[in-house]
Structure 1
Amino acid sequence: MQLMRVVALGRDPMAVQPVLLLQETGGRRRVLPVWVGVPEATAIELARRRVELPRPQTHQLLLQIVQAFDRRLELVRITMLRDSIFHAELVFDAETRVSARVSDAVAVALHVDVPIEAEDAVLDEAAVAEVAGLADAIADEDADEDAPEESEEVERFRRFLDSASPEDFDPS
Structure 2
Amino acid sequence: MIFSEVRVTGVADTPVLLLREARGDRYLPVWISAAGANAILSALEDAPDEHPASHDLIVALLAALGAVVDEVRIIDVVEGVFTAQMRVGEATVACRVSDGVAVALRCAAAISVSESVLDRAGTLVRPGDPGEGSDAQMEQFRAFLDTLRPEDFDPGAGEGPQP
Q: Same fold (TM over 0.5)?
A: yes
- Number of residue pairs matched? 146
Contact 2:127 2:137 in 1 (8 A): no
Q: Which runs of 4+ in 1 moved over 6 A?
A: 131-134
Give how far 1:164 is off: 2.8
Could you tell me how far apart the structure 1 residues matched to 2:126 and 2:35 are?
26
Which blocks of at least 5 consecutive residues in structure 1 are unaligned? 139-155
Structure showing the higher helix proportion among its residues: 1
- Distance in 2 between residues matched to 1:82 and 1:122, nearest whole Å: 9
The answer (yes or no) to whether the contact 1:76–1:115 under 8 Å persists in 2 is yes
Take 2:47 and 2:109, find their aligned partners in 1: how far apart are those partners?
A: 18
Name the SS for the 1:166 alignment partner. Answer: coil
Identity of aligned residues (%): 30
Q: 1:7 aligns with which of 4, 8, 33?
A: 4
- Quick check: 1:86 aligned with 2:82? yes
The CA RMSD over aligned residues, in Å, is 2.9
Q: 1:97 aligns with which of 76, 88, 92?
A: 92
Q: Structure 2: state its 5+ residue gaps.
A: 129-133, 154-163
Contact 2:86 2:95 in 1 (8 A): yes
Task: Report the 3-state secondary structure (helix = DSSP H, G, I; strand = E; otherwise coil) of the residue aligned with 1:20.
Answer: strand
Letter in 1 for 2:136: D
* 1:24 and 1:30 in contact (8 A); partners too: yes
**TM-score if structure 1 supplies the norm length?**
0.74
> Which residue among 131, 140, 146 is the counterpart of 1:164?
146
**TM-score using structure 2 length:** 0.78
Structure 1 partner of 2:65: 69
Match of 1:144 in 2: none
Are the counterparts in 1 of residues 9 and 145 from structure 2 also a CA contact under 8 Å?
Answer: no
